[in-house]
Chains A and B, each alone.
Chain A
Amino acid sequence: MFVEVLPGGGPAASPVQAVAGRAAAARHPLARRLVPYLYILPAVVLLVLWTYWPLLQNVGLSFQDWNLIPTRPRVFVGTEKYAKVLSLPELRQALMNTVVYIGAFLLISVALPLVFALLSRSVQGRARTFYQALIFVPFLVTPVASSAVWRWLFAPDSGTIPAIAAALGHPMGDVFRDPDGSMTSVIVIVGWQMLGFGVLVIAAGLAGINPDYAAAAALDGARRRQILWRITVPLLSPSLVFLSLMTILLSAQWTYPIIDLVTQGGPGNSSTNIYYLLYQFGFRNFDAGLSAAAGVLFFVGFGLVALLFVELSERLSFHDN
């Protein structure tokens, strides 16, 4: 993903600049070396103040017993909350569900869009612009509204989908109250929303691939399948990596409102995930320490997964430079 484009790196190292950087050279060399840091400073300051500082406070909270009411005292309880989180019976289920959710979303927002984008590659011109804009529409529907649409579609007795199912001879109950169906329904709803984004990113990636490569390969006798797997997909790898990471990062934000408004994690935690469990710890049970401890564990675990992923993608990405 983040592979240096030029072997010599940025302008700071380029010979061109050493000779011709008149204005820059006139200034103090230290000032020039500071420039990159000035560029990143605002972002770093914002993140330190509003993400990392609260994160640290969260670490503090995780060693305390507190019920979120400002006037109530906070009691230091050591690692008790961590022990409690790790021994929670819901944790295993929530973790497993999170893995299934992310796996399903990778399939829906990376693999499926790849197939769709390849299939619709020959839609060209105006039709293509229109098609891509329309496929993007579900991504724009606010999850709060889409959860209402899907609840309406799946409403037992009167909803459209149960009515069609009954007409076809497969009567169905309330999927959101069905332990075997609740998670699938959340996946369907979130997947519906995320699909368009994937198609758009991959279609743009396909449009950016130089057709000469495929043409050259075809002249050399390559079959379409070979061109697809040996040329198109490797050249698409930056898009695929970008989408995968976005999917993993966004899945939290996307599943939370749907789970909260459609299944509340139920029935019996069958559709909960780690984010929703955290929310329930903190706000439903009024146990800030427990929620904080879960958050810290989550950060460490997820951070490691993400680091691994970034590391992997650096190696797997193929760049057309």
Chain B
Amino acid sequence: MSTPTATRRRAFTWAPTRTYVQAAVILIWCLLPFYWMIVTAFRDVGYTFDPTPFFTHVTFDNFATVFDESLGNHFARNLLNSLIVAGLTTVISLLVGVFAAYALARLKFRFKEMVLGFVLGASMFPGVALITPLFQLFTNLGWMGSYQALIIPSISFSLPLAVYTLTSFFREMPWELEEAARIDGCTQGQAFRKIILPLAAPATFTTAILTFIGAWNEFLIANQLSSDATKTVTVAIASFAGAQPHQEPYTAVMAAGTVVTIPLVILVLIFQKKIVAGLTAGAVK
């Protein structure tokens, strides 16, 4: 944002300092609990409540506990399950969502408002209330304990949000290019593939990351509909067995939380520019 210097003159000397102090305060608030999580994850279980604010009594034992099968933890399997469920949820929601959002944002057809209401309406229904009928349905189909029993409800939740987000993005894109392509003789399908898809990539990517984060962190559906074989990380962490019985396994839970969160943090750090570009291209012009 470049504001003309005329309006800035008064604040010239101290404004940057103030800005950075404010930014630092915000960052500390956002990062302190996260930092505590990591410090505790690396701390000996005997020093769980040690208030020292930096790394002390460092150990990898908590991570060993997380993956210790003799304690009944199957964290590697849980991670794989989460990856399968969140990955497929994201791929299917995006694949289906991109087409729907393109039509909603760009094409003219009857009942458009109704379709939009229909899609958004699906996310108004609380997931909790969806679980009982789905539980019945999956039991009848013999799907309990399968991946689709987790992926399908997850899609029910993420698809409306993906369509909504993508539609908002697509409405703000430079569609003149599509018309230009059509003048040059492209069909609607070709224009979509060759012009629109590359243009829509950042926004689509952003939606994909948000969908993935949501599905990866999902707890309610997985907690009710997963079996031992399909248990995802969130369910596993909630029912974690620590190294010492009769004590809440804070250090192991934080180690598990670190293992689950770090890949997402790395993902976001790598693609941060793309995400912001996607958001800027879209809802938020």
Contacts and interface: CB of A to CB of B under 8 A. Distances in A.
B284 A54 contact: no
A77 to B, nearest CB: 16
A35 interface: yes
Contacts of A242: 165, 168, 283-284
B133 A61 contact: yes
Given A142-B237, A252-B126, A279-B128, A214 B3 contact: yes
Contacts, number: 361
Given A58-B130, A218-B7, A242-B284, A120 B139 contact: no
B279 A142 contact: no
A54 B276 contact: no
Interface in A1-57: 1-3, 5-6, 9-14, 16-17, 20-24, 33, 35-37, 39-40, 42-44, 46-47, 50-52, 54-55, 57
Interface residues of A, number: 129
B31 interface: yes
Contacts of A138: 30-31, 33-34
Interface stretch (B56-64, B67-75, B209-217): B209-217
Contact of A55 (B102, B130, B160, B182): B130
A57 B135 CA distance: 11
A13 B268 contact: no
A192 B256 contact: no
A260 B127 CA distance: 15
Nearest to A146: B33
A11 B188 contact: yes
B128 A278 contact: yes
Given A35-B188, A36-B107, A47 B119 contact: yes
Contact of A20 (B129, B183, B276): B183
A281 B119 CA distance: 27
B47 to A, nearest CB: 11
Q: Among A3, A46, A195, A249, which residue has the most Cβ atoms of chain B within 10 A?
A: A46
Interface in A281-295: 282-283, 288, 291-292, 294-295
A119 interface: yes
A173 to B, nearest CB: 16
Contact of B6 (A10, A203, A218): A218
A245 B172 CA distance: 18
Interface residues of B, number: 120
A200 B276 contact: yes
Interface in B152-211: 152-153, 155-157, 159-161, 163-165, 167-168, 171-172, 175, 178-179, 182-183, 185-188
A196 B208 CA distance: 18
Contacts of A278: 126, 128-129
Given A201-B284, A246-B161, 14 more contacts: A2-B171, A35-B188, A43-B100, A50-B156, A122-B1, A146-B257, A151-B250, A153-B36, A158-B48, A192-B30, A201-B283, A249-B123, A278-B126, A282-B128
30 contacts: A5-B172, A16-B179, A17-B179, A20-B182, A22-B185, A23-B186, A35-B107, A43-B100, A47-B156, A139-B213, A140-B261, A140-B268, A142-B217, A143-B217, A143-B234, A144-B219, A144-B234, A145-B253, A149-B40, A152-B40, A201-B284, A211-B1, A223-B7, A227-B7, A246-B161, A256-B128, A292-B129, A295-B130, A299-B124, A303-B121
